[in-house]
């Protein structure tokens, strides 16, 4: 027969295990909800990459100035007409002669004014979220630093 003391001990153990599993389940579910809603309870999303050098952090915070150029439509095959390219920031067509800029990391093209306004708020590509980071030479750091 099962003694009363053993039954109470077994009941307490089962209750503790149930509480532990329930708290783990709640923790996992709340973590997924926080990521889906953009960060949860006011905490910033975790950074994907930590930068060891101070100049890298400075480059990420510095205002982005991308080179601009007049847009020219590429020659298109007559058999496969493509829709005209669109600036993902303003959703307007890229027309020949308009000033445009290319994000170096991903090579996406936007109106020069649109990407400049976007880059003041976010240092990422509007389409793929690649970081818009200028080369070290743009900050007066010798290009040879990158070779070391």
Domain boundaries, the chain: 1-37, 54-73+83-147
Look at residue 40 in the predicted model and tell me its pLDDT: 46
CB atoms within 10 A of CB 34: 14
Measuring CA to CA, which residue among 91, 96, 89 is closest to residue 73?
A: 96
Counting Cα atoms < 13 Å in the Cβ hemisphere of 19 gives 6
Q: What is the model's pTM?
A: 0.43
Mean pLDDT of 55-80: 55
Strand, helix or coil for residue 100: strand
Q: Assign domain 54-73+83-147 to a CATH class.
A: alpha beta
Q: CB neighbours of 85 closer than 8 A, spacing ≥ 6?
A: 93, 94, 109
Mean pLDDT of 114-141: 75
72 vs 114: CA distance, rounded Å: 17
């Amino acid at each position: 027969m099962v003694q009363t003391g053993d039954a109470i001990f077994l009941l307490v153990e089962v209750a503790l295990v149930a509480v532990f599993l329930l708290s783990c389940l709640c923790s996992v579910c709340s973590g997924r909800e926080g990521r889906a809603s953009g960060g949860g309870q006011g905490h910033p999303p975790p950074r994907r990459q930590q930068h060891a050098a101070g100049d890298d952090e400075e480059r990420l915070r510095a205002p982005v100035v991308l080179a601009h150029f007049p847009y020219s439509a590429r020659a298109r095959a007559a058999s496969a007409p493509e829709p005209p390219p669109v600036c993902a920031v303003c959703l307007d067509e890229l027309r020949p002669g308009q000033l445009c800029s290319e994000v170096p990391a991903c090579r996406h093209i936007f109106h020069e004014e649109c990407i400049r306004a976007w880059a003041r708020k976010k240092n990422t590509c509007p389409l793929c979220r690649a970081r818009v980071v200028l080369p070290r030479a743009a900050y007066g750091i010798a290009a040879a630093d990158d070779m070391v």
